[in-house]
A and B are shown apart, each in its own frame.
Chain A
């Protein structure tokens, strides 16, 4: 079974804090993604990575950065958390190199910024 594990289910952080969200996958997938999910807006892609040390901006990268030092781990960083970054964050991974890009998702991290 493919497993995508996000380090926290719930996080509460203060405005201005630097926040790290960690994601690990165990299927040797090339592609990894970070989305945020907000009611009525669906999933919006923040960043994705198709290889170690590679990253691409998604649709809403502002206020975020990412790190992929190892193939299995993809970190999302909020440099200075703000209240409008309160959201559900979902990490996903997929096998690269084929067009059928089924994505496997983690359970999500619900982040609240106060």
Chain B
């Protein structure tokens, strides 16, 4: 099955950019996703990228996909305290999605 790995923790200052990285093993994943989990809540989809794309931009979020290296990243520009959360990358196709371990983002005011 798919393995998805992330670093567990990232700390940035308010106003800086955050970059959260993810590596995955299954190159057949059709879509790759970024989910956000705020304290005490379930996960919410932030953005996704189709596997034949290299980059997707959505306001402050930029997703980069390097299929050769099986590497996915999420860049958050002008990081705010409200961005403090756990971020999960995930990959999959029909029906089943595999989630990474999650990266806890701490934003320092």
Contact = CB atoms under 8 A, between A and B. Distances in A.
B93 A45 contact: no
A66 to B, nearest CB: 15
A45 B96 contact: yes
Q: Give the secondary structure class of A's interface.
A: loop
Contacts, number: 62
Contacts of B33: 102
Given A43-B88, A102-B48, A103-B45, A96 B101 contact: no
Interface in B1-58: 1, 4, 6, 8, 30-31, 33, 40-45, 48
Interface stretch (A11-19, A74-82, A104-112): A104-112
A34 interface: no
13 contacts: A41-B101, A42-B100, A42-B101, A92-B42, A99-B94, A100-B30, A100-B31, A101-B96, A103-B97, A105-B42, A105-B43, A107-B40, A108-B42
